[in-house]
């Protein structure tokens, strides 16, 4: 052996890994290229009540540490049309739970932001669009969201907040309010009042509008709240939200109106809370 070979062998030996007796070198694990068996069950394209329940059970058991391959498969499935045979109510739940899982992941899977914004902006299924609007607030709080997509998401919220006659109008107002920083903007205030004063707004949307206005400290909702409480046809959720609005925007002159609900077991706690906040 030459001196040069001796030096090379010594250098190689110094950096070699010493394995225990009987051990063998193993290749690095290959990156997952196909969805796991559990995710494959969730994303099968045919189903019924039984398979739908099983899909939801599996979904609820998944952690946000799933592989990027599994995440991509779930996202691709969630944006498909409803699979044949899968009941609509279960499809809605699966869509909701898939996006909940993806939004919990430390690194947002590629395309999740765009697909969620697209669903919030115009999914033809009003329930799925409503769910997407609810989740835009979580998406927009992620610092990694590009500015262009952040602007698209806010535009989807504002456009939906102006969609009279649909329950999603109220959902959009609540999401918008949670995104406001500092005092409520004039644009947001106008959107809330437009919903409360619209003859086309649904009761769920008006209920949410009162909640959004109260959270923003809007005193201009008081007249609409009084009108809702004086209307015998108002449903209970609307009356409860109107009382919460008066707790923020009312005056001592509202005492009699609020006390008229103390005999109603359902409305009594809200009426008492409003009276207390008004110092009555």
The count of other CB atoms within 10 Å of the CB of residue 264 is 12
Mean pLDDT along residues 138-144: 89
**Token pair listed for 67:** 């592989």
Query: Helical H runs in the chain?
Result: 3-15, 37-42, 49-61, 68-78, 88-104, 112-122, 126-140, 147-161, 168-179, 186-197, 203-215, 222-230, 236-249, 255-259, 268-277
Write down the pLDDT at residue 180: 87
Write down the pLDDT at residue 182: 82
CB crowding 151-190: b at 16 or more within 10 Å, else e: ebbbebbbebbebeebbbbbbbbbbbbbbeeeebeeebbe
Tell me the per-residue pLDDT of 191-224, one tens digit each, with 9 for 90 and over: 999 999 999 999 999 999 999 999 999 999 999 9
Q: Per the confidence metrics, is the pTM higher than 0.85?
A: no
**Residue with tokens 């008066």, as numbered in its chain:** 246
Alpha-carbon span 266 to 269, nearest angstrom? 7
C-alpha 19: how far from chain center = 51
Alpha-carbon span 8 to 11, nearest angstrom? 5
Write down the pLDDT at residue 216: 95
Write down the pLDDT at residue 258: 97
251-257 contact pairs (CB < 8 A, 24+)? 251/222, 251/278, 252/278, 252/279, 252/280, 254/222, 254/226, 254/278, 255/280, 257/226, 257/229, 257/230
Average pLDDT, the chain: 89
Tell me which DSSP letter residue 110 carries: T
Write down the pLDDT at residue 21: 54
What are 84's strand-pairing partners?
46
Query: Would you say 215 and 176 are in contact if contact means Cβ atoms under 8 Å apart?
Result: no
Alpha-carbon span 149 to 108, nearest angstrom? 14
Query: Would you say 193 and 220 are in contact if contact means Cβ atoms under 8 Å apart?
Result: yes
Mean pLDDT along residues 260-277: 96
Tell me the per-residue pLDDT of 16-47, one tens digit each, with 9 for 90 and over: 444 455 544 444 444 567 889 999 999 988 87
């Amino acid at each position: 052996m030459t001196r040069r070979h001796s030096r090379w062998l010594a250098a190689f030996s110094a950096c070699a890994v010493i394995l225990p007796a009987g051990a063998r070198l193993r290749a690095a694990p290959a990156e997952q290229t196909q969805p796991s068996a559990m995710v494959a069950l969730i994303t099968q394209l045919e189903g019924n009540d039984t398979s739908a329940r099983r899909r939801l059970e599996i979904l609820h058991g998944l952690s946000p540490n799933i592989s990027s391959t599994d995440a991509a498969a779930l996202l691709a499935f969630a944006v498909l049309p409803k699979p044949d045979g899968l009941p609509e109510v279960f499809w809605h739940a699966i869509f909701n739970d898939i996006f909940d899982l993806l939004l919990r992941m430390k690194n947002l899977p590629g395309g999740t932001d765009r697909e969620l914004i697209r669903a919030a902006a115009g999914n033809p299924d009003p329930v799925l669009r409503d769910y997407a609007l609810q989740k835009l607030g979580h998406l927009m709080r992620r610092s990694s969201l590009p500015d262009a997509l952040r602007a698209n998401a806010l535009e989807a919220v504002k456009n939906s907040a102006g969609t009279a006659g649909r329950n999603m109008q109220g959902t959009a107002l609540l999401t918008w309010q949670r995104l406001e920083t500092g005092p409520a903007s004039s644009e947001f205030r106008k959107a809330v009042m437009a919903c409360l004063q619209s003859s086309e707004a649904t009761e769920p949307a008006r209920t949410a509008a009162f909640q959004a206005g109260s959270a923003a400290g809007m005193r201009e909702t008081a007249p609409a709240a009084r009108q809702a409480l004086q209307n015998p046809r108002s449903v209970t959720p609307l009356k409860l939200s109107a009382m919460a609005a008066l707790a923020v925007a009312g005056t001592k002159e509202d005492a009699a109106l609020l006390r008229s609900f103390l005999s109603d077991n359902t409305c009594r706690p809200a009426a008492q809370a409003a009276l207390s906040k008004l110092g009555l």
